[in-house]
């Protein structure tokens, strides 16, 4: 039986991740993220590039001093100044690592380094040895390996290992490789360069073609023992391999990869949201593992399966990464079974099948207009549709025109006991115009005593709930309307109250003090 291997997680959120366009973390934010990464139990934190400036140096120094547990790595080019600064920043680290890098592809050598292959080989040898004077743990990387000449790559990594590198990192810097190519390269390095020596092979993959995670996992299949990645996959251009994706892939498919990490998976979601907040880079809803929709189900077929058994459409538990249990998103694709379960979860367990049927029809109508409904919105919908709502008058259609310099005008079509009625009216505003049109259509002119609008949730797409109180002589009635359109909700509320007045289901208006004194 194949022995399972421990795959080290090298997190470079604070170095490569911070290179994302528009991201600039403060010292305190970097320190907080580093502490969160330590709680996540990553093996290595690449804290930054000390030679790049005083603030970067101080961030690495503070992290090295205050964060305990993981190896703390600092990046350095093949220059003595870079290595000196990295070593100085790491002085108080429990487990320091200097990460030395150069380039491997011809285009990098010609246009970036402006050096020959022999010059690069000589610098790599000398600078890895120089870094080993400071620390026992030295990682060596050569940028753009996927587009480099194999013979040069082989010589370069041989030199680094002979000079004392303990980890050799194989960066697909431009996201150019495919899983087949990258996996084959890792295997070749394992077989022809490492050759059984006590050296860890590391992957560093970018997502320019959307294959960063697949490439990293191909590297694991072919002998890599470390994955370089970032929280939420942030990084230059299209970003890096996402930590949450490779970690959970190795967790869920441990049977396939025969490998594991020591990540505390229940911290994943919390760290993801922390990085999202501090970097200002929103996590897409469909992002694997940490996106809002990653454990959400709206399709009726999927919801039906999850209700019967979660494993029908879920390969991992949301709680495993620190999220709430999977949710059924009630939207236009939802089925009646999921809708009924959501009602039961809200406490509506005594509804008849006929009530559920009517509520479901109204829910579908609203979901088509506004999208998914929250629990609060669903609750408001139920309360507004249940008795004592009047169906004496039914709104068939409402349309209004309003705007700067325009006379507010509304047209309504109302179903009454005597048939459909259509009326058009102007008003001081769209609601006033709608109410005057409704009064004309139903032949009643009650007095509006109360008009109240509430947003059921805080978003701009929230359902609106309108409550009105109408008075007609000695009778009064309260009506409620719920809709994503406030004008429609206003019309529904007015017709609800007016229907109670017209059908004899209104209450007597309490007499005023003056009326009592007059003996009414």
| Number of residues that this document lists for the chain | 520
SS3 for 203-245, per residue? EEEECCCCCHHHHHHHHHHCCCCEEEEEHHHCCCCCCECEHHH
CA distances from 489 to 375, 421, 464, 485, 498 (A): 19, 19, 7, 6, 14
Backbone angles phi, psi at 330, to 5 degrees: -90, 100
Q: How would you classify the pairing of strands 296-297 and 327-328?
A: parallel
Closest CA to 392 of 508, 495, 507: 495
The two tokens of residue 29 are: 């934010």
The two tokens of residue 276 are: 């999202």
What b/e readout covers 156-195, taking b as 16+ CB neighbours within 10 angstroms? Answer: bbbbbbebbbbbbbbbbbbbbbebeebbebbbebbeebbe
> The tokens 């743990």 sit on which residue?
137
Ramachandran region of residue 210, left (φ > 0), alpha (ψ -120 to 50) or beta? left
Tell me: is residue 240 an annotated ligand-binding position.
yes
Half-sphere exposure of 421 (CA within 13 A, CB side): 17
| Distance, CA of 3 to CA of 6 (rounded, Å) | 10
The two tokens of residue 235 are: 């990084």
CA distances from 258 to 8, 221, 246 (A): 14, 9, 13
Tell me: is residue 204 an annotated ligand-binding position.
yes
Q: Are 464 and 453 a contacting pair, CB within 8 Å?
A: yes
The two tokens of residue 393 are: 């008058």
Residue 320 DSSP SS3:
helix
Q: Which residues pair with 515 in a beta bridge?
A: none
The two tokens of residue 156 are: 């370069």
Q: Which residues pair with 423 in a beta bridge?
A: 412
SS3 for 150-179, per residue? HHHHHHHHHHHHHHCCCEEEEEECCCCCCH
| DSSP classification of residue 282 | P
Half-sphere exposure of 210 (CA within 13 A, CB side): 2
Q: Are 235 and 17 a contacting pair, CB within 8 Å?
A: yes
Instruction: Using CA atoms of 262, 263, 264, 268 in order, give the dihedral in degrees to the nearest 10.
Output: -170
Closest CA to 48 of 81, 21, 23, 11: 11
Backbone angles phi, psi at 114, to 5 degrees: 55, 50
Binding-site annotation, residues for Mn(2+) = 16, 204, 206, 240
Which residues contribute to the annotated binding site? 16, 204, 206, 240
């Amino acid at each position: 039986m194949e022995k399972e291997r421990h795959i080290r997680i090298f997190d470079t959120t604070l170095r490569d991740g911070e290179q994302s366009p528009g991201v600039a973390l403060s010292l305190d934010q970097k320190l907080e993220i580093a502490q969160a990464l330590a709680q996540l139990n990553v093996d290595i934190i690449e804290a930054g590039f000390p030679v790049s400036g005083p603030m970067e140096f101080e961030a690495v120094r503070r992290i090295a001093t205050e964060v305990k547990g993981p190896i703390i790595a600092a990046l350095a080019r093949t220059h003595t100044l870079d290595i000196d600064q990295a070593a100085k920043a790491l002085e108080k680290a429990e487990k320091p690592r200097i990460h030395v890098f150069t380039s491997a592809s011809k285009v990098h050598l010609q246009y970036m380094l402006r050096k020959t292959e022999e010059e690069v080989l000589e610098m790599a040898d000398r600078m890895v040895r120089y870094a080993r004077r400071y620390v026992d743990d030295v990682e060596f990387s050569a940028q753009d390996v996927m587009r480099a000449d194999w013979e040069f790559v082989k010589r370069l990594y041989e030199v680094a290992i002979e000079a004392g590198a303990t980890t050799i990192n194989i960066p697909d810097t431009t996201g150019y490789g495919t899983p087949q190519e990258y996996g084959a390269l890792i295997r070749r390095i394992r077989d022809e360069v490492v050759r059984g020596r006590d050296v860890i092979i590391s992957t560093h993959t970018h997502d320019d073609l959307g294959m960063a995670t697949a490439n990293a996992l191909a590297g694991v299949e072919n002998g890599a023992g470390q994955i370089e990645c970032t929280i939420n996959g942030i990084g230059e251009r299209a970003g890096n391999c996402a930590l949450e994706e490779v970690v959970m892939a190795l967790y869920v498919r441990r049977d396939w990869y025969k490998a594991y990490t020591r990540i505390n998976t229940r911290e994943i979601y919390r760290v993801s949201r922390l990085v999202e907040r501090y970097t200002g880079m929103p996590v897409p809803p469909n992002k694997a593992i940490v996106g809002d929709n990653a454990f959400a189900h709206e399709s009726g077929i999927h919801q039906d399966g999850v209700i019967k058994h979660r494993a029908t459409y879920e390969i991992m538990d949301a709680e495993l990464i620190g999220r709430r249990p999977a949710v059924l998103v009630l939207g236009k694709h939802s089925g009646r079974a999921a809708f009924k379960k959501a009602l039961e979860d809200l406490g509506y367990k005594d509804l008849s099948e006929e009530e559920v049927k009517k509520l479901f029809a109204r829910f579908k109508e609203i979901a088509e207009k506004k999208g998914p409904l929250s629990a609060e919105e669903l609750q408001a919908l139920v309360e507004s549709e249940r008795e004592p709502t009047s169906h004496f008058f039914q709104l068939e259609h409402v349309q209004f025109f309003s705007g700067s310099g325009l006379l507010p005008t509304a047209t309504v079509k109302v179903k009454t006991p005597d048939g459909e009625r259509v009326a058009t009216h102007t008003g001081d505003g769209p609601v006033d115009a709608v109410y005057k049109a409704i009064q004309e259509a139903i032949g009643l002119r009650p007095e509006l005593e109360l008009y109240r609008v509430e947003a059921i949730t805080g978003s701009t797409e929230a359902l609106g709930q309108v409550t009105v109180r109408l008075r007609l002589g000695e009778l009064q009635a309260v009506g409620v309307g719920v809709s994503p359109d406030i004008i429609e909700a206003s019309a529904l509320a007015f017709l609800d109250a007016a229907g109670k007045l017209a059908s004899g289901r209104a209450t007597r208006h309490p007499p005023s003090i003056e009326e009592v004194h007059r003996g009414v």
